[in-house]
Amino acid sequence: MDLCSTGIATPTEAYETCTDYLVARAEQWGDELLAARLDEDLNRLSGEIEQDLRQRHRGRIDDCLAKESLEGRLRECAEVARMRAGL
């Protein structure tokens, strides 16, 4: 996922990664449980990713995260991935 990019985002890699993640979760949990737990899982994941970004890029990422929702971008990728995977 490109956050606060100056260029046009090409989310293909992010969609592919998210698709792989969702397919693995569907195999682990089953389709019904995936639907029930996906919201909670995406919330947890976005928090972990944000924490990691803040640690790796101390002070340099704060403005970007304030302007653009990491969780929103992650959910967008997950929705496209779900449609592509037929989940």
Q: What is the pLDDT of residues 63-78, one digit of tens each?
A: 877 887 888 888 888 8
pTM for the full predicted model:
0.72
Question: What per-residue confidence (pLDDT) applies to 44?
Answer: 92
Within-domain flag for 76: yes
Q: Name the token pair of 58.
A: 């101390």
- Range(s) of the domain holding residue 79: 12-85
Domain count, the chain: 1
Q: What is the pLDDT of residues 40-61, one digit of tens each?
A: 999 998 999 888 888 888 877 8
The whole-angstrom separation of Cα 68 and Cα 73 is 8
Within-domain flag for 2: no
Question: What per-residue confidence (pLDDT) applies to 43?
Answer: 92
| Complete DSSP assignment for 16-32 | HHHHHHHHHHHHHH-HH
Question: What per-residue confidence (pLDDT) applies to 11?
Answer: 67
- Poorest-pLDDT segment among 2-6, 27-31, 63-67, 75-79: 2-6
Within-domain flag for 50: yes
Fill in the amino acid letter for 4.
C
Within-domain flag for 6: no
Within-domain flag for 70: yes
Within-domain flag for 72: yes
